């Protein structure tokens, strides 16, 4: 039987908009994944630490405050420092297309913009982890 | 109706419904955006017990269902107030002049996240956030730049600031003072609504108890010294944006309002001294009639409770005056030009609902902060409503509509049900601690998302009429990448130039005031005058008041 995909949904920075993060967390849970939600106002350090401690497969970052170009790379960098760069990072929020491309080039697996169907996120994660978790 | 007419009406109605039931109906969802069912038709007996005097009254008269002023938009239009702020104070000052030059009639400040959360631009937690989703304001110096060449005795300014509201208000008053304008001449609004922060917007600093103390300090200070200031803008906007239904927005917002009234009374203030300066802030979502009914219901509930429960005597204490912003969460990143149309309908519902002030969203807000072009179109949308559609000619033109009156009553009843639930928790703060609001809202948000994904609710351009390989070709506002560095340098300059002995003394005074029960605002004002930074003031207060720890609910 498949082992469940473990996901950390996190809100980095000072942004308090948590509607999207919670909707995604609930949808992934309903799709049978194990979901841990950090709550708000997390530093990249807190997120990397939680990810390692919780032994997750993947981190989902949600940012709507415009701080994405600082927060995403910082989380990736800290994971690397901890030797945990096998943990995949994806994200969502108010992020212009140009920045999405840059972040994906820097190692963020995928950015989902406004209007994303949660099934697309579920399918994406299942495709990424389907094989590995057998 | 005489007996014969009544008989005829009953027969006609029966015949109509029999006929209508047998006609094929489209297989689509006919509920409101809040998933409330509505009838296909409303008729006189849906409002047979409507009592004009008790339920409606005339505009400017109790219970104010038809509007808070006798002449409404014939007296003056709503204030056209676009929420704006990005980059440095200088960048945003440029935007304000642009908006004023294009006919905007009030200002509204959007602060960046560090300012909202009480961190200076050079704090490590501010990294990457400075000037990004609003303007960076660290001290009185930035506030002076923000309002350069703007006459603060002529324009009113709204500031979306909550946990540190007393500080930003002090910066504003001190900036006016330096221009030679007296406090009694300055008008505006601070949001100062911490309860909805715990409930929905999540930008808190202190725990509820000291937060409520700061708010009552502001109420008291402004009542005596800044009589034209709206001391709390009790906000449903963020509750709705976080995913609530219309009825939840209405109920939770008014419940917060009553909690502030009770806090003011408990602090020893006379309700008629502070209630006239409380104002409201609602969302204008897409379900046109549901929104109009919401605004009308809000006015009647507020007026009745203020009079009957809190014993307000002045008419001004009974008026629910409100600002409206169109629903950001209804906008799509796909085919963004369609957002202009959504916003126009939403703005129209706010005007038909009797708003005092309006922000219309720009088409590009799901992508970034508004470009000049996008915000100009948004402002023009309001100007078209005001000058071209004719809806301003007649006050509360939908009154007496069977549907609108039935729906207004239904909204009111739904709100009353929620008030009882909140009372059973022991009030708003207790309900927050138990996660009641938070869970209701995230449940509603998730339910709605599922309806969209199963295409029971249609969003044009997203889950129907979508375009493959769509290219977005509207301009996107870029924030100057130097803003964070510049802001750090500016704050270092302020710290070097000011009288640091005085700063130390004032911060010490502030700490003592916080430990005691003195009103904090005059002391914060003195801190502002000698260029203490926001972060320094907040740090002192955090040491006394502590910080709020979020209970996590999914």
- Written as one string, the DSSP assignment of chain A is -PPPPEEEEE-BSS----HHHHHHHHHHHHTT-EEEE--SSB-HHHHHHHHHHTT-SEEEEEE-SS-HHHHHHHHHHHHHHTT-TTSEEEEEES--HHHHHHHHHTT--EEE-TT--HHHHHHHHHHHHHTTT-
- Residue written as token pair 């709206």: B230
pLDDT computed for residue B21 by the predictor: 87
Q: What is the pLDDT of residue B112?
A: 97
Chain B contact for A39 (CB, 8 A cutoff): yes
Sequence ranges of the domains in chain A? 6-127
Residue B464, CA atoms < 13 Å, CB-side half-sphere: 8
Nearest CA-CA distance, residue A7 and chain B, Å: 14
pLDDT at B481: 87
Q: Convert B66-82 into a string of H (helix), E (strand) and C (coil).
A: CCCCCCHHHHCCCEEEE
- Band (A2; pLDDT cuts 50, 70, 90): low
Of B132, B368, B554, the CB nearest to A25: B554
Q: Does B550 touch chain A (CB under 8 A)?
A: yes
Q: How far is B369 from chain A (nearest CA, A)?
A: 9
The per-residue pLDDT for range B214-251, each reduced to its tens digit, is 999 999 999 999 999 999 999 999 999 999 999 999 99
A13 CB neighbours in chain B (<8 A) are 113, 128-129
Q: In whole angstroms, what is the distance from residue B463 CA to residue B518 CA?
A: 56
Identify the band that residue A59 occupies on the pLDDT scale cut at 50, 70 and 90. very high
**Do B242 and B441 meet the contact criterion of CB atoms below 8 Å apart?**
yes
pLDDT of residue A134: 44
**Which of B132, B472, B535 is the best mutation test for A, with the most CBs of A within 10 A?**
B132
Residues on chain A touching B333 (C-beta within 8 angstroms): 113-115
Element (H, E) at B322: strand B322-326
Is A133 a residue whose pLDDT tops 60? Answer: no
Closest alpha carbon within chain A to B124? A43
SS3 label, residue B278: strand
Sign, CA torsion B41/B47/B52/B53:
negative
Question: A6-127 falls under which CATH superfamily?
Answer: Cobalamin-binding domain (3.40.50.280)
d(Cα B105, Cα B509) in Å, to the nearest integer?
39
Give CA–CA dist B280/B256, Å, rounded.
Answer: 10
What is the helix (H) or strand (E) element at residue B280, kind and residue range? Answer: strand B278-284
CA of A19: how far to CAs of A23, A26, B116, B242, B441, in Å? 6, 11, 19, 5, 9
Number of neighbouring beta carbons within 10 Å of residue B40: 9
Q: How far apart are CA A29 and CA B19, in angstroms?
A: 47
Q: Taking CB atoms and an 8 Å limit, are B368 and A94 in contact across chains?
A: yes
* Residue in A106, A98, A96, A101 with CA at minimum distance from that of residue A63: A96
Phi/psi for B524 (5° steps) reads -65, -40
Mutate which of A9, A12, A18 to test chain B, going by most B C-beta atoms within 10 A? A18
Q: Does B334 touch chain A (CB under 8 A)?
A: yes
User: Is the minimum CB–CB distance between A52 and chain B shorter than 8 Å?
Assistant: no
CATH class of B70-425+448-453: alpha beta
What per-residue confidence (pLDDT) applies to B178? 97
Give CA separation, B459 vs A119, B72, B438, B442, in Å: 17, 34, 25, 20
Put simply, whether A117 touches B (Cβ < 8 Å) is: yes
Work out the number of other CB atoms within 10 angstroms of the CB of residue A114. 19
pLDDT at position B472, please? 84
Q: Does the beta carbon of B1 lie under 8 angstroms from any beta carbon of chain A?
A: no
- Alpha-carbon gap: A31 to the closest alpha carbon of chain B (Å): 13
Sort out which chain A residues have CB atoms less than 8 A from B369's CB and list them.
Answer: 66
pLDDT of residue A105: 97
CA distances from B444 to A16, B458, B553 (A): 18, 17, 14
Low-confidence ranges of chain B (pLDDT < 70): none
- What is the ipTM, given to two decimal places? 0.93
Beta carbons of B133 and A17 less than 8 Å apart? no
B442/A26 CB distance under 8 A: yes
Token representation of residue B99: 């908006």
Q: How far from chain centre, in Å, is Cα B395?
A: 23
Q: Identify the closest residue of chain A to B449 by CA–CA distance.
A: A23
Instruction: Report yes or no: B117 at the A interface, CB cutoff 8 Å.
Output: yes
> Start-end ranges of CATH 3.20.20.240 in chain B?
70-425+448-453
Chain B CB contacts of A72 under 8 Å are none
DSSP B276: G
Nearest chain B residue (CA) to A120: B453
Instruction: For the beta carbon of residue A2, count every other beta carbon within 10 angstroms.
Output: 10
Tokens describing residue B234: 């009790």
- What tokens appear for A120 in the block? 């697309």
- Dig out the tokens for B532 from the structure: 């203490």
Average pLDDT rounded to a whole number, residues A22-41:
96
DSSP class of residue B207 equals -
Report CA B325 to chain centroid distance, whole Å. Answer: 7
d(CA B251, CA B195): 13
Inter-residue contact B114 to B466 (CB < 8 Å): no
Question: Does the distance separating the beta carbons of B442 and A22 come in below 8 Å?
Answer: yes
């Amino acid at each position: 039987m498949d082992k469940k995909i473990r996901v950390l949904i996190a809100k980095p920075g000072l942004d308090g908009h948590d509607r999207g993060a919670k909707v995604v967390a609930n949808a992934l849970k309903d799709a049978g994944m194990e979901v841990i939600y950090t709550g708000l106002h997390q530093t990249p350090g807190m997120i990397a630490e939680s990810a390692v401690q919780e032994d997750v497969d993947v981190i989902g970052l949600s940012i709507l405050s415009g701080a994405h170009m600082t927060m995403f790379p910082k989380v990736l960098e800290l994971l690397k420092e901890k030797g945990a760069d096998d943990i995949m990072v994806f994200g969502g929020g108010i992020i212009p297309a140009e920045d999405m491309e840059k972040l994906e080039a820097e190692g963020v697996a995928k950015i989902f913009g406004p209007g994303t169907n949660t099934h697309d996120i579920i399918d994406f994660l299942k495709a990424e982890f389907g094989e590995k978790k057998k | 109706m005489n007996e014969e007419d009544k008989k005829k009406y009953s027969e006609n109605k029966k015949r109509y419904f029999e006929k209508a039931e047998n006609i094929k109906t489209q297989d689509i969802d006919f509920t409101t955006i809040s998933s409330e069912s509505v009838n296909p038709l409303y008729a006189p007996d849906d409002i047979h017990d409507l009592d004009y005097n008790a339920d409606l009254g005339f505009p400017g008269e109790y219970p104010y269902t038809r509007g808070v002023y006798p002449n409404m938009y014939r007296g003056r239009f709503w204030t056209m107030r676009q929420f704006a702020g990005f980059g440095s104070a200088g960048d945003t000052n440029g935007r304000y002049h642009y908006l004023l030059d294009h006919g905007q009639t009030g200002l509204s400040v959007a602060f960046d996240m560090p300012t909202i959360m009480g961190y200076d631009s050079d704090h490590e937690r501010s990294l990457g956030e400075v000037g990004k989703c609003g303007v960076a304001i660290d001290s009185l110096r930035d506030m002076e730049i923000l309002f350069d060449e703007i006459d603060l005795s002529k324009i009113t300014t709204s500031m979306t600031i909550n946990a540190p509201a007393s500080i930003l208000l002090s910066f504003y008053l001190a900036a006016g003072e330096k221009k030679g304008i007296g406090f009694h001449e300055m008008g505006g609004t601070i949001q100062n609504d911490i309860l909805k922060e715990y409930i929905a917007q999540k930008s808190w600093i202190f725990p509820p108890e000291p937060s409520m103390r700061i708010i009552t300090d502001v109420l008291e200070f402004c009542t005596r010294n800044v009589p034209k200031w709206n001391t709390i803008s009790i906000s449903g906007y963020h509750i709705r944006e976080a995913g609530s239904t219309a009825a939840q927005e209405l109920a939770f917002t008014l419940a917060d309002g009553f909690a502030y009234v009770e806090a003011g009374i408990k602090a020893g203030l006379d309700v008629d001294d502070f209630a006239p300066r409380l104002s409201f802030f609602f969302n204008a979502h897409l379900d046109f009639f549901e929104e109009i009914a919401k605004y009308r219901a809000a006015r009647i509930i507020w007026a009745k409770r203020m009079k009957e429960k809190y014993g307000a005597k002045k008419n001004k204490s009974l008026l629910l005056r409100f600002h409206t912003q169109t629903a950001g969460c209804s906008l799509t990143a796909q085919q963004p030009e369609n957002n202009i149309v959504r916003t126009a309908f939403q703005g129209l519902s706010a005007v038909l609902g009797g708003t005092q002030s309006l922000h219309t969203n720009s088409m590009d807000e799901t992508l970034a902060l508004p470009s000049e072009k996008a915000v100009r179109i948004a402002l023009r949308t309001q100007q078209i409503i005001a000058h071209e559609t004719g809806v301003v000619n007649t006050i509360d033109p939908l009154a007496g509509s069977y549907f609108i009156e039935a729906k207004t009553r239904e909204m009111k009843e739904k709100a009353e049900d929620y008030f009882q639930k909140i009372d059973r928790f022991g009030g708003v703060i207790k309900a927050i601690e138990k996660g009641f609001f938070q869970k209701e809202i995230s449940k509603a948000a998730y339910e709605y998302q599922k309806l969209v994904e199963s295409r029971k609710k249609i969003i044009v351009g997203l889950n129907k009429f979508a375009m493959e390989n769509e290219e977005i070709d509207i301009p996107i506002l870029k924030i100057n990448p130097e803003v964070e560095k510049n802001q750090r340098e500016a704050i270092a300059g302020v710290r070097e130039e000011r009288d640091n002995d005085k700063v130390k003394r004032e911060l010490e005074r502030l700490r003592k005031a916080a430990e005691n029960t003195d009103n904090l605002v005059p002391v914060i004002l003195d801190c502002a005058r000698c260029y203490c930074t926001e972060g320094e003031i907040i740090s002192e207060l955090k040491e006394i008041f502590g910080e709020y720890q979020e209970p996590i609910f999914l």
